[in-house]
């Protein structure tokens, strides 16, 4: 049959409904390069050992990478005490979030996440034609009861970032356990631990432990944040053998580059770099939080952070928009979040000491003269 038509291909209606992901800015409006405190990258960069391994891994460019990422899974398994056979890997944890939605939800199904959750969850839900369901927050964090109240017969997946981006809030171990216990066992609970390495061990939310035996938990991690490998796009996840099997069917066939695998192995093994990055982050996060909190009489406050960024709230004469523009003019890109329902908030990545001192003094000057 020859179909005669003059129309162009039409995207599926649920694809047209997607608002594209907005990446953190790296240039000002007039194109000048700025210091990027807008994408939660590691200001100390990448472990030198990972850099060296990357160079080694890029020698053979003509061959496909190891499709099973065997050595990387082994290295991750060793660091975290996990079964390598149950580790899935992705082109960034972004790929894992998308394939988790594709494997378990389709048109008409519901995917739940918390208000002020990670922006990718809505895209992952809409991409497969599922209906995004937004649970109300509690003080910018997770309200487990409100989330459970959103569950219906159509619920297939729940996404929860812990700690959360862009709020920096943390859902404690007891609440994660309560959420999991309250969900039907055929609903996939995705705990996105992109910032877990910034926590103290005693603050661990227990999701990896739950995933050891639960049939319905996928924990995701990334090499993009504390490991400083965002350029290489490497994420991993841990779940039951059945979930991992389903995800393998739909991941891209060679989804992590050879050099990326080499770099990630070295990065995973360089615990000193991780420790140093965590210590640097804690020191300057606490310092910047205190500096901004001290401007409370000008309407500024900070949502207590468990991550490598802070969410600063501007409820006085100085607006978040004006602060965003002022910082940009001074050479710093931060994240203003009106598109995520937070027009009074700036998300600021923790940078170097010099950057943090500079940013605090710029914000103080703006607040005092507004």
Q: Which is nearer to ligand PLP, 114 or 328 (CB)?
A: 114
User: Which of 54, 89, 113, 118 forms a contact with ligand PLP (CB under 6 A)?
Assistant: 118
Q: Return the residue of 92, 141, 228, 237 that touches ligand PLP, per CB under 6 A.
A: 92
Nearer to ligand PLP, 180 or 347 (CB): 347
Beta pairing class for 342-349 and 309-314: antiparallel
Write out the E strands in the chain: 35-36, 87-91, 110-114, 131-135, 137-138, 141-142, 155-161, 188-192, 217-222, 234-238, 300-303, 309-314, 332-333, 335-337, 342-349
Residue span binding ligand PLP (CB under 6 A) among the ranges 11-19, 89-97, 267-275, 347-355 = 89-97
Which x/- pattern, by CB under 6 A, does the window 197-226 give for ligand PLP? Answer: -------------------------x-xx-
41 contributes a contact to ligand PLP by CB under 6 A: no
- Closest-CA residue to 295 (of 237, 362, 202, 214): 362
* Piece of the chain touching ligand PLP by CB under 6 A; list 55-63, 86-94, 167-175, 210-218: 86-94
- Spatial contact of 146 and 178, defined as CB atoms under 8 Å apart: no
- Under the criterion CB under 6 A, does residue 169 sit at the interface with ligand PLP? no
161 sits near ligand PLP (criterion: CB under 6 A): yes
Q: What sign does the dihedral 95-197-242-258 (CA atoms) show? A: positive
Q: Which of 209, 222, 315 is nearest to 268 (CA)?
A: 222
Among residues 216 and 220, whose Cβ is nearest to ligand PLP? 220
- Indicate which single residue of 38, 102, 155, 165 sits in contact with ligand PLP (rule: CB under 6 A): 165
Identify the CA nearest to 169 among candidates 209, 203, 205, 140.
140
Would you count residue 230 as binding ligand PLP (CB under 6 A)?
A: yes
- Residues linked to residue 113 through DSSP beta bridges, in sequence order: 134, 159
- Per-residue 3-state assignment (H helix, E strand, C coil) for 324-359: HHHHHHCCEECEEEHHHCEEEEEEEECCCHHHHHHH
The owner of tokens 């990357």 is 54
Residue 306 in the binding site for ligand PLP (CB under 6 A): no
Q: Encoding tokens for residue 133? A: 């369901």
CB of 114 to ligand PLP, least distance (A): 11
Residue closer to ligand PLP by CB (options 140, 319) is: 140
Nearest CB to ligand PLP, comparing residues 155 and 193: 193
Min. distance of Cβ 284 from ligand PLP in angstroms? 19
173-192 residues near ligand PLP, rule: CB under 6 A = 192
Residue nearest to ligand PLP (CB): 92
> What tokens appear for 299 in the block?
């309407």
Count the residues in the chain.
Answer: 370
46 is a site residue for ligand PLP (CB under 6 A): no
Q: Which is nearer to ligand PLP, 120 or 246 (CB)?
A: 120
Distance (Å, whole) CA 34 – CA 73: 36
Scan residues 245-304 and list those touching ligand PLP (CB under 6 A). Answer: none
Q: Which of 330, 331, 333, 337 is nearest to 313 (CA)?
A: 337
Q: Which residues bind ligand PLP (CB under 6 A)?
A: 40, 92-94, 118, 161, 165, 192, 194, 222, 224-225, 230, 235
């Amino acid at each position: 049959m020859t179909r005669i038509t003059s129309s162009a291909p039409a995207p599926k209606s649920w694809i047209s409904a997607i608002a594209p992901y907005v990446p953190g800015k790296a240039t000002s409006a007039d194109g000048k390069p700025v210091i990027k405190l807008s994408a939660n990258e590691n200001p100390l960069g990448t472990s030198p050992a990972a850099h060296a391994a990357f160079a080694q891994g890029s020698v053979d460019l003509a061959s496909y990478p190891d499709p099973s990422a065997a050595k990387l899974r082994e290295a991750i398994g060793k660091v975290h005490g996990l079964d390598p056979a149950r580790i899935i890997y992705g082109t960034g944890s972004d790929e894992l979030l998308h394939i988790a939605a594709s494997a378990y939800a389709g048109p008409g199904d519901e995917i739940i996440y918390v208000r002020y959750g990670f922006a990718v969850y809505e895209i992952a839900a809409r991409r497969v034609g599922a209906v995004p369901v937004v649970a109300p927050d509690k003080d910018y964090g997770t309200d487990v009861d409100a989330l459970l109240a959103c569950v219906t017969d159509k619920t297939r997946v729940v996404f929860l970032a812990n700690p959360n981006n862009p709020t920096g809030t943390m859902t404690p171990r007891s609440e994660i356990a309560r959420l999991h216990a309250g969900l039907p066992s055929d609903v996939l609970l995705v705990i996105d631990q992109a910032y877990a390495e910034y926590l103290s061990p005693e603050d661990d939310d227990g999701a990896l432990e739950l995933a050891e035996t639960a049939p319905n938990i996928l924990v995701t991690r990334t090499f993009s944040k504390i490991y400083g490998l965002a350029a290489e796009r490497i994420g991993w996840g841990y779940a039951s053998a059945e979930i991992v099997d389903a995800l393998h069917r739909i991941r891209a066939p060679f989804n992590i580059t050879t050099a990326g695998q080499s770099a990630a192995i070295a990065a995973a093994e360089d615990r000193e770099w991780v420790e140093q990055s965590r210590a640097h982050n804690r020191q300057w996060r606490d310092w910047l939080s205190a500096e901004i909190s001290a401007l409370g009489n000008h309407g500024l406050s900070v949502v207590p952070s468990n991550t490598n960024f802070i969410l600063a709230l501007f409820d006085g004469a100085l607006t978040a928009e004006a602060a965003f523009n002022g910082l940009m003019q001074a050479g710093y890109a931060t994240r203003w979040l009106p598109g995520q329902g937070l027009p009074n908030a700036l998300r600021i990545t923790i940078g170097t000491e010099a950057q943090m001192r500079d940013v605090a003094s710029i914000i103080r000057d703006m607040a005092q003269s507004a």
